């Protein structure tokens, strides 16, 4: 009996020391995972929100396991977080490049469309009567649409400057649609780029 | 006898919303302004927008493309 007791004590001691020996590596693994997630940056949450959220959840999970001393689980899961963080960073960079390119195209062309509408409305406002092809209702609608487009473009530009790229593009598309409506109401041609 | 003023669209730029008018027989800047603006008195707007091509508002040529601001 005493021999069994000694053996049991020795096994318990070995197990305890094994657990303790996983603790430091697990802590280091979590620190490495935290650093990898921090390196992704706050922009990722705006650009690829679902992926960023999943990454944060994975980090929270290993931290929770560390707090519960589930060191083996931490050591199994934490390394994958670093490679996942790299993927998320790459996805965010690609998304940002795509949104920026779309914005640049829109901001290069949309203001000149708006200016064309403005010019026509200004001239028609000086006319003694509207042309035969334009009703007062359509003219009023064009003026209202232009006012909304102008305000919308200011908001879109501000959103882009604040890093809300997807929001800026969405607002820009609304401005484009309103400007096209105004062009059509005025009987003016719609440029090819505005038709897409 | 003049045809109805011919309206055409476009320019080289994909975002260009400039409206163009191709001059047909019988056109004058007055008539063109009357068509697009409802008021022939606004013909100077068309003349000013086309100073690169027009020296005299009374002299336009058939086939000439004019910007309609």
What ipTM does this complex have?
Answer: 0.84
Question: A8 and A89, same structural domain?
Answer: yes
B38-63: average pLDDT: 97
User: CA torsion angle for A131, A177, B15, B4 (degrees, to 10)?
Assistant: -20
Question: A109 and A87, same structural domain?
Answer: no
Question: A83 and A100, same structural domain?
Answer: no
Band of the pLDDT at B7, cuts 50, 70, 90?
very low
Question: A72 and A114, same structural domain?
Answer: no
Element spanning A93, H or E: helix A71-125
Question: A114 and A86, same structural domain?
Answer: no
Question: Which CATH number fits the domain that encloses residue B38?
Answer: 3.10.350.10
Question: A84 and A26, same structural domain?
Answer: yes
Check pLDDT > 70 for residue B5: no
Tell which of A53, A68, A93 closes a domain: A93
Question: A44 and A11, same structural domain?
Answer: yes
- Cα–Cα distance measured from residue A90 to residue A102, given in angstroms and rounded to the nearest whole number: 19
Check pLDDT > 60 for residue B12: no
Q: Which of A25-34, A97-106, A145-154, B8-17 has the lowest mean pLDDT?
A: B8-17
Instruction: For residue B27, give its domain range.
Output: 6-68
Check pLDDT > 80 for residue A196: no
Interchain CB distance below 8 Å, B15 and A109:
yes
Q: Would residue B1 count as lying in a domain?
A: no
Q: Would residue B24 count as lying in a domain?
A: yes
Q: Which of A42-51, B6-15, B28-37, B43-52 has the lowest mean pLDDT?
A: B6-15
Question: A187 and A100, same structural domain?
Answer: yes
CB-based contact, B42 to chain A, within 8 Å: yes
| B20 min Cα distance to partner chain A (Å) | 9
For residue A131, list chain B residues with Cβ-Cβ distance below 8 A: 34-38
Q: What is the pLDDT of residue A20?
A: 66
Strand order in the sheet with B6-9: B6-9, B19-22, B65-68
CB A123 within 8 Å of CB A160? no
To probe the interface with B, which of A114, A180, A188 has the most B CB atoms within 10 Å? A188
Q: What is the pLDDT of residue B28?
A: 98
Interchain CB distance below 8 Å, A119 and B69:
yes
Instruction: For residue A150, give its domain range.
Output: 96-195
Q: Would residue B39 count as lying in a domain?
A: yes
CB A179 within 8 Å of CB A148? no
CB A98 within 8 Å of CB A114? no
Check pLDDT > 90 for residue B52: yes
CB A180 within 8 Å of CB A111? no
The count of structural domains within chain A is 2
| A57 min Cα distance to partner chain B (Å) | 44
The string of pLDDT tens digits covering residues A21-48 is: 899 999 999 999 999 999 998 999 999 9
The count of structural domains within chain B is 1
Question: A87 and A139, same structural domain?
Answer: no
Q: What is the pLDDT of residue B11?
A: 41
For residue A106, list chain B residues with Cβ-Cβ distance below 8 A: none
Band of the pLDDT at A69, cuts 50, 70, 90?
very high
Q: Which of A10-19, A38-47, A160-169 has the lowest mean pLDDT?
A: A10-19
Q: What is the mean pLDDT of chain A?
A: 92
Element spanning B6, H or E: strand B6-9
- Cα–Cα distance measured from residue A196 to residue A126, given in angstroms and rounded to the nearest whole number: 33
Q: What is the pLDDT of residue A171?
A: 97
Q: Would residue B30 count as lying in a domain?
A: yes
For residue B8, list chain A residues with Cβ-Cβ distance below 8 A: 189
Question: A83 and A108, same structural domain?
Answer: no
CB contacts < 8 A, A to B, total 72
A175-192: average pLDDT: 96
Question: A103 and A54, same structural domain?
Answer: no
CB-based contact, B65 to chain A, within 8 Å: no
């Amino acid at each position: 009996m005493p021999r069994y007791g000694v053996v049991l004590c020795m096994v318990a001691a070995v197990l305890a020391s094994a657990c303790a020996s996983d603790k430091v590596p697990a802590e280091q693994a979590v620190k490495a995972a935290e650093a990898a997630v921090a390196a992704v940056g706050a922009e990722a949450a705006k650009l690829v929100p679902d992926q960023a959220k999943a990454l944060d959840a994975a980090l929270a999970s290993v931290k929770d396991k560390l707090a519960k001393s589930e060191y083996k689980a931490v050591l199994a899961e934490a390394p994958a977080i670093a490679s996942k963080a790299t993927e998320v960073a790459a996805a965010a960079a690609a998304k940002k490049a795509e949104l920026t390119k779309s914005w640049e195209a829109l901001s290069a062309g949309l203001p000149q469309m708006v200016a064309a509408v403005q010019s026509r409305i200004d001239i028609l406002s000086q006319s003694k009567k509207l042309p035969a092809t334009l009703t007062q209702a359509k003219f009023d609608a064009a003026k209202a649409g232009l006012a909304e487009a102008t305000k919308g473009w200011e908001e879109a530009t501000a959103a882009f400057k604040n890093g809300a790229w997807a929001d800026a593009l969405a607002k820009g598309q609304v401005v484009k649609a309103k400007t096209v409506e105004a062009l059509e109401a005025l009987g003016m041609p719609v440029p090819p780029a505005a038709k897409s | 006898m003049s045809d109805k003023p011919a309206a055409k669209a476009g320019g080289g730029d994909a975002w260009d919303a400039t409206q163009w008018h191709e001059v047909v027989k019988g056109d004058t800047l007055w008539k063109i302004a009357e068509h697009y603006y409802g008021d022939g008195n606004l013909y100077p707007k068309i003349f000013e927008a086309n100073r690169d091509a027009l020296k005299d508002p009374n002299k336009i040529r058939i086939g000439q493309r004019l910007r309609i601001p």
